[in-house]
Amino acid sequence: MSGSYVIAPGSPPARTPLRHVAAAAAIGLLLLLAVPLALGRAPYWLDVLTNACILSFASLGVWVTFAIGRINIAQGAFAMIGGYTTAILATRFGIGFWFGLPVSAAVAAVAGILLGLPILRLRGVYFAMITLSLTEAVRLAFLSLGAATGGGTDIVNIPTPAGIGSPLAFYLLAAVLLLLGLLAVWRLDASRLGAVFRAMRQNEDLAASIGIDVARYRVIAFAVASAMGGAAGSFFAVFHQNIFPASYTIQDSVNVMLYCFLGGLDFVLGPIVGAFLLVIALELLTALQQYQALLYGVLMIAAMLFLPNGLLRLRLARLRRGGETP
């Protein structure tokens, strides 16, 4: 029926963690060895890949909320919260990034729990729309807060993390963060928690009826997502050395969600594949100047038209057999 979740025929069975470790090692080699060797002297591409790594990291969080069947368009809000936490810690209290990062993730997680408790009762597009509104609401809140406290809302001259200065160092930090995030989400997906999430995605009421504390688990998922968003915001705050209420907009939240769709929602690697492809594609299209944004849109349309279930679905080659029922 309209709106019900069609259970993906290829929903991932919990794969052996060993395979994950092998895959993570391969990705780690690629990110931490091959890329620095190939692009270590190209700060521009390092910067692009740094963006891709951290945006992937934020998308992984959104993927966790997709795992419980929620379309989360609020990641920009949590990146903003994390970014401001890091910025305030660094500029007002002299607390550096290495301590600021976990604190920012924790603050974002707490915000995620507080906001998630009420809004996670919503489902489907209602949840999508309320999270989209949340991005805008958080931006407005920071703007008003700045006006209310008399101080400005802009924080500039945020110090870089101790020991991190060059583009390569920032890239390596981003890549390590991404790898840790990937391993954590893989671990989560393969654990009992992952199974609970899948059950909730397929049918929340059914999951509740077999004794799963649905309300608790969906808040856990949202808190994980928010923490990852907060960590991403924390990174960008020290990377750009500033934060403004305009640093994250609805566009950021939407983009992060799109990366998940493009890569494929059934795979932990989906958001990473999606983020890297779209971030790199946008940069490659820069040469086309005014046609860049136009072709970026066309690319998205084409991707969905020919790979409606994400790029990683390609290898399953079940496109043609897709459900014929309307």
Partner 1 sequence: MANGLHATRRGVLAGAGAAALLAASRPARAESVLKIGVLGVMSGPAASWGLVNKYCAQATAAMWNEKGGVTIDGTAYRIEIVPIDDKNDPKLAVSGAERLTEQDGIRYIIGPNVDTTAASVRPVAEKNGAIYFPYAFSKALYTPPAGNAVLGMIASYQAGPIIYRFLRDSRGVKSVAFVARNESDPLNQRKEGVEAAKKLGLNVVSSDDTYEGGTTDFFPVMSKVVSGKPDLIVLSGVAPADAPLLVKSARELGFKGQLSTETAQDAKVLREGAGNAADGFISVGGASTPEIASDYMNRFRDRYARVAGEWNDEAGTKVYALEIILATLQKAGRGAIGDVAAFKRTIDTFSMRNPFLREDKPLAYVGTAYFGQKRQIGVPMVVNEFHDGAFRTLFIGSVE
Partner 2 sequence: MEQIIVNGVVLSATYALVALGITLIFSIMNLLNFAHGQILMIGGFMVYYVYGVFGLPYAVALPVAAVVTGLIGFGFEVLLFRRVVRVATREENSMLLAVGTALLLENLALFGFGEKQRGVPSIVGGVYRVGAAFLPAGRLLVVLIALALIVALLLFVQYTRPGRAMRALAQDREVTYLMGVDVERISALGFALGAGLAGIAGGLLVTLSGVNAGIGTALSTKAFIMIMIGGAGVVAGAILGAVVLGFAEAVGYALIPGSTTYLLIFVGLILFLVLRPQGIMGKPQR
Q: Summarize as ranges the residues that interact with partner 2 (CB under 8 A).
A: 1-6, 8-9, 71, 115, 118-119, 121-126, 128-130, 132-134, 136-137, 140-141, 143-144, 147, 250-251, 254, 257-258, 261-262, 265-266, 290, 293-294, 296-301, 303-305, 308-310, 319, 322-326
What are the beta bridge partners of residue 156? 242
Q: Which does 180 bind (CB under 5 to 8 A by kind): partner 2, partner 1, none?
A: none
Contact 159, 90 (CB under 8 A): yes
Q: Which does 265 bind (CB under 5 to 8 A by kind): partner 2, partner 1, none?
A: partner 2
To the nearest whole angstrom, how small is the minimum distance from the Cβ of residue 301 to partner 1? 16
CB atoms near residue 272 (< 10 Å): 27
User: If binding is defined by CB under 8 A, does position 48 make contact with partner 1?
Assistant: yes
Contact mark string toward partner 1, 257..296, x via CB under 8 A: -------------------------xx--x--xx-xx---
Which of 10, 152, 163, 308 binds partner 1 (CB under 8 A)? It is 152
What are the beta bridge partners of residue 155? 243
Q: How far is CA 304 from the centre of its chain?
A: 20
Q: What b/e readout covers 98-125, taking b as 16+ CB neighbours within 10 angstroms?
A: eebbebbbbbbbebbbebbeebbeeeee
Q: Which does 122 bind (CB under 5 to 8 A by kind): partner 1, partner 2, none?
A: partner 2
Rounded Cα distance between 120 and 194, Å, is 18
Rounded Cα distance between 307 and 218, Å, is 29
Stretch that binds partner 1, among 7-15, 186-194, 223-231, 237-245 (CB under 8 A): 237-245
Contact 81, 63 (CB under 8 A): no
**Considering beta carbons, is residue 22 or 293 the nearer one to partner 1?**
293
Rounded Cα distance between 111 and 287, Å, is 40
**Considering beta carbons, is residue 157 or 290 the nearer one to partner 2?**
290
Segments of the chain assigned E as strands: 155-156, 242-243
User: If binding is defined by CB under 8 A, does position 240 make contact with partner 1?
Assistant: yes
DSSP string covering 136-194:
HHHHHHHHHHHHHTSS-S-EE-PPPPTT--SHHHHHHHHHHHHHHHHHHHHHHHHSHHH
Residues 158-177 that bind partner 1 (CB under 8 A): 160, 167
To the nearest whole angstrom, how small is the minimum distance from the Cβ of residue 319 to partner 2? 7
Which of 22, 42, 125, 314 binds partner 1 (CB under 8 A)? It is 42
To the nearest whole angstrom, how small is the minimum distance from the Cβ of residue 158 to partner 1? 10
Contact 80, 142 (CB under 8 A): yes
To the nearest whole angstrom, how small is the minimum distance from the Cβ of residue 26 to partner 1? 26
**Considering beta carbons, is residue 74 or 237 the nearer one to partner 1?**
237
To the nearest whole angstrom, how small is the minimum distance from the Cβ of residue 81 to partner 1? 17
DSSP string covering 66-128:
HHTT-----HHHHHHHHHHHHHHHHHHH---HHHHHHHHHHHHHHHHHHHHHHHTT--HHHHH
Please give the residue ranges that form the binding site for partner 1 (CB under 8 A): 42-44, 47-48, 51, 55, 140, 143, 146-147, 152-154, 156-157, 160, 167, 236, 239-242, 244-247, 249, 251-252, 282-283, 286, 289-290, 292-293
